[in-house]
Amino acid sequence: MVIPLYTLDGKHLTVKHIVDFVANPKARIKIHPSCFGAIDRSRAFLHAQMKEKVIYGVNTGFGPMASHIIGTQDLKALQQNLIRSHSTGMGDSIDPDFILASMVVRINTLIKGHSGVSRDLADHLLLFINRRIIPVVHEHGAVGTSGDLIQMAHIALALIGEGEVWYREVRQPTVPLLKKLKIKPYTLESKEGLSLINGTSVMAGIGALNVYHAERILSLAVRLGAMGLELVHAFRDAFSEELHAARPHPGQMQVAALLRKILSSSRLLQERADLQKRITLHERDVKKIPDDVQDVYSFRCLPQILGPALEVIARTKQTVETEINSVTDNPMIDMKQKQILHGGNFHGDYIASAMDEMKIGLVKLTLLSERKINFFLNQNVNKRFPPFLNLKKPGLTLGLQGLQFVATSTTAQSQTLAFPQYVHSIPTNGDNQDIVSMGMESALFTAKVIDNAYTVLAIELIALAQAADFRNIYEKLSDSSKHLYEGVRSVFPKIIQDRVLVHELPQVVKFLKSDQSPDLSLGIDEK
């Protein structure tokens, strides 16, 4: 069996690399040999400069205490104190996959040769990554401006043999595990503690996985939208190439094109000409016709609603991939000009604003899904399906009534989370950090919105399958919709007699997360 091996060079890391590495426990990464020279040169240069010049965080204190010069004999203790003092995270532990992704981002930053760390530190971090020794990191603490200080401190804490880690899905103290694995704790040298915790690696690592799921969710929303269109016998002209070319937003045109592709194998949609044949116009009087001349917006306007989400996901992906290949710590060593630069590349506004923008798009997508669920369950609106898609005895049995409450409440929570955390700047650190990004919170809230979207989309798929069963039209569905129907029915039988669904719904979510249908490709990478 071939073990996937990813080579990092500080320049070409992608969202896909991170997703694939995190998903495969057997995968490994290595450092490109070309990086070693840059690492060694920057370390040697820093070591020489720190004997002659004042360098923040190397021979000074931190933050507002930067005016305190530290004696040579205390430089190692300074770095150790930094890690211990900032390992103050609170709240729930962050998903280990997010932390593993963050560690990959961090090592990709350090090997660029601008951080002044030793090759030994890079090798030690690489060892933790490849052995899947994942530090326990808590959700609360960082404000995202000197980067993810608190979260990164907990990662560094494990490297020096303290704190807690996840290993083979078991949470345990670091000390006995390292002894068992015969791994020595790392001893931090000058600047190395600061280089480990100063930067945006955690929010960027979370952001990379968020982008992957956002792409998947958007594609699922398009496919579920197509299935809904089939079940209401929608008109094809709402997705015509000519219509969308007249308003040529790239995302809108791309969603419409994907809908046309999916629905090309359907035998359920209507042509506008068929309506014209059925209806006779009158010169006088007003006459009500039995047909809907246009579908409601949640069906007819799918490209116009999902198009902006597609575009924002593409922009966010570009921002994240720039960030994960960037130098985000401070100070930075510039070997070309032989200088040490003090600045603010650790500020998380790029990731914070990108996550918030993408989060808003995903909330709108979730709201769209909830409205379509309501359409199919509300007999007064759809006028063609039994109440709550009840397939037995409405009144005695309740059908999907309970699931709608879940969809509504979950969507409502996402609407609350949609408010941009990016604007919640509160000065801290003795007003040294006087304007902050809140990027960590933005990334974590986006992850929660993603989880909620999967739940609501799963309920939409259940409703669509139930509607298909009521209509008995499986054979006329598009190939994509047949695939979705078969997938949900493999884990969630149709509801005739009321039953407890609490353990079945997560199985539908699992199907949506793992489905490998080719229709999931949105072509975002090709733009």
Taking each helix axis from N to C terminus, what angle separates 505-514 and 439-471, rounded to the nearest 10 degrees? 110
Under DSSP, the state recorded for 500 is: -
Size of the chain in residues: 527
Q: Which of 56, 167, 422, 485 is catalytic?
A: 56
DSSP string over 28-65: EEEE-THHHHHHHHHHHHHHHHTTTS--TTTSB-SGGG
Under DSSP, the state recorded for 103 is: H
Instruction: For residue 443, count CB atoms less than 10 angstroms from its CB and return exposed for 0-12, middle for 13-18, buried for 19 or more.
Output: buried
Q: Please confirm, yes or no, whether 167 is among the known catalytic residues.
A: no
Instruction: For residue 446, count CB atoms less than 10 angstroms from its CB and return exposed for 0-12, middle for 13-18, buried for 19 or more.
Output: buried
R_g of the chain, CA atoms, integer Å: 27
* Closest residue by Cα to residue 524 from 306, 256, 313, 358: 313
C-alpha–C-alpha distance, residues 300 and 473, integer Å = 21
Q: How many CB atoms sit inside 10 A of residue 23's CB?
A: 12
Under DSSP, the state recorded for 525 is: G
Token pair belonging to 349: 């506004």
Please list, in sequence order, all residues whose beta carbon lies within 8 angstroms of the beta carbon of residue 448, skipping any fewer than 6 positions away: 413, 414, 417
* Closest residue by Cα to residue 42 from 200, 189, 202, 199: 189
Catalytic residues, which ones?
Answer: 56
